[in-house]
Homo-oligomer: A and B are copies of this chain.
Amino acid sequence: MGKHHEVEIFSVFIANQDDTFVTTKTEEAVLEYGGIPGDLHFGLTKFAGARESMYKRGTEIFNRRQISIVSVEECAWIAEKLEVEQILPEWLGANIAIKGLGNLTKLAPGSRIVFPSGAGILCEGENLPCTQPGEVIQHKYPANANLTTRFVKASLGQRGIVGIVECPGKIRTGDTAKVIVNNV
């Protein structure tokens, strides 16, 4: 087992609102194979889109984007670069905000985040930014110019990761989770 860090589960969120990827804070959630039941991104499969252009659009493929994780430190850095008061994890569609791992986005694929319940998430690597969260941020700060596109540039390498549920179980706000770094 490689190097590991302890991190705080700062908040847990679910994408359960109509017509938006924006998430809502919740005290705890259950991870099942496929993600968080009831969440927009839940499912062992998904339909291929712009991020999976090697497959014909709409083809059913395995869902490696089950869970979105951000760090509160990186959200603060993005806010600073955009010169806005704050960037909430909800606006990025995050399911989990962790505290204590500033460079979360650079966590090597194959790393794990393991929770006190025994639940575990397998890191599938950086979540490449797109303009959608930028639109949400622009809406929150109408006086600032070009936030939609500036978000993409400002958050590259700091927008967090996506992952797969490797072991089902509960995750709770305030949990201390272990990040086991894949150091191959």
Which A residues have a C-beta under 8 Å from some C-beta of B? 1, 33, 44-45, 48, 53-56, 59-62, 64, 108-110, 112, 114, 118, 120, 122, 124-126, 128, 164-167, 178, 180, 182, 184
* Given A1-B53, A62-B164, A164-B62, A109 and B122 contact (CB-CB distance below 8 Å): no
* Given A61-B120, A109-B125, A33 and B56 contact (CB-CB distance below 8 Å): no
Q: How many copies does the complex hold?
A: 2
Q: Contact at B109–A55, with CB atoms within 8 Å? A: no
Q: Contact at A165–B62, with CB atoms within 8 Å? A: yes
Given contacts A55-B118, A59-B118, A62-B166, 13 further A-B contacts (CB under 8 A): A1-B54, A33-B44, A33-B45, A48-B167, A54-B114, A54-B178, A54-B180, A55-B114, A55-B167, A60-B167, A61-B166, A61-B167, A108-B109
**Across-interface contacts of A124 in B (CB, < 8 A):** 109-110
A112 and B125 alpha carbons, distance in the complex (Å): 14
**Across-interface contacts of A48 in B (CB, < 8 A):** 167
A110 and B110 alpha carbons, distance in the complex (Å): 10
**Across-interface contacts of A108 in B (CB, < 8 A):** 109
A35 and B62 alpha carbons, distance in the complex (Å): 12
A147 and B167 alpha carbons, distance in the complex (Å): 36
**Across-interface contacts of A120 in B (CB, < 8 A):** 54-55, 61
